[in-house]
Structure 1
């Protein structure tokens, strides 16, 4: 925003000098000519800063949250350990930066998740699509709770059915049906995609879809 305001001010000053220069058809202010040369031979000014969004990432221990985020940040994943408490990563994308607050998924931590929801603009929920029926049911309960939480229910959701590279993985359609997403999330902004650490291009595309939803929500908020 600052660069835009600076340009507007600069153009206003140039226009004033131009109007006061007398014969406008023959005389242009020197700094205006310098500006045109700069635009022609260098560039069109610095690119606008990428917008930043604060996103909370939740899911059970073992769902693969840390591995996916580390790979998105081009970090080594050889010594990944489950997150205890929370961690924050600035994940860069071409059109935005996501400040992702990842919350640990252990039973002792889940009960405190809601304390970290404030200020979130979007939600990433990661589930292990190859987990046991018991863990899948727990994940289903936690996702339903998040979708209905007062601080999250109006936010865009990216739901990743992770570990699609494992033989026991349920398909995206199976997850959608089992988690009853159509009736529960009707009217909400949400995306359900499969994911795996060996296909990060698809993961990046899923996050790009989330960014698009975040931008749409921001534009709608700006019109209110």
Structure 2
């Protein structure tokens, strides 16, 4: 009997490899892309600066690894975003839900462009309405209505969730739903 326990514990092979997905992360400067990704990777949040150009992070989850290509959101960088879309299997779009009306309109225009871009239009989207902890934050429902997501994204696979670095469990749950979309699994409807 002890031999069987020893064999079961010690002779198991390596765990099966987790699938990897290449994902592009876009959003305006100040939306919180770098902060969210750093927290997901368990990196310190001290000294985080906006991404200039792009960065790539392997973000581990229990059932998958997301190779996230984060693109800087400054005006002089946005015009090059489309050069980095090729090979992407999904899109994470982060917006500052507490931003000015002008910045929110700019984020809306960028999201509309991404949803209609030939290299992205068939991919699943995770849209994070970040900074939900700020007093001026708009709710995900307000964002959905303002961004006109229902008619624009009809027939597409997308998730819109609120997020904040103060509640990383909720952010991880949003990414778990996104991974289900990447795996082409049927996602459970939200429970209210």
TM-score normalised by structure 1 residue count: 0.78
Is 1:161 matched with 2:129? yes
Residue of structure 2 equivalent to 1:27? none
Q: Distance in 2 between matches of 1:148 and 1:41?
A: 51
What residue number does 1:145 align with? 113
Give 1:76 deviation, angstroms: 1.0
Query: Alpha-carbon deviation of 1:40?
Result: 4.5
Question: Take 1:70 and 1:109, find their aligned partners in 2: how far apart are those partners?
Answer: 21
- CA offsets 1:5-64 (integer angstroms, 9 cap, x no match): xxxxxxxxxxxxxxxxxxxxxxxxxxxxxxx99864645432210000000000000000
1:176 corresponds to which of 136, 144, 154: 144
Residues 82-133 of structure 1: per-residue CA shift (max 9 Å, x gap): 1000000000000000000000000000000000000000000000000000
Structure 1: runs of 5+ lacking an equivalent: 1-35, 218-224
- SS of the residue aligned with 1:187? coil
Per the alignment, residue 26 of structure 2 pairs with 58
- TM superposition outliers: structure 1 runs of 4+ over 2 Å: 36-46
TM-score, normalized by length of structure 2?
Answer: 0.91
Aligned residues: 182
Q: Which has the higher helix share?
A: 1
Which residue of 1 is the match for residue 74 of structure 2? 106
Matched, 1:126 2:87: no
**Contact 1:39 1:45 survives alignment (8 Å):** no
Q: Which residue of 2 aligns with 1:199?
A: 167
Q: CA deviation at 1:138?
A: 0.3
- Aligned-pair CA distance for 1:208: 0.7
Higher relative contact order (CA 8 A, sep 6+): 2
Structure 2 counterpart of 1:80, from 48, 73, 81? 48
CA RMSD of aligned residues (A): 1.5
Question: Deviation per CA, 1:127-166, whole angstroms, max 9, x where unpaired?
Answer: 0000000000000000000000000000000000000000
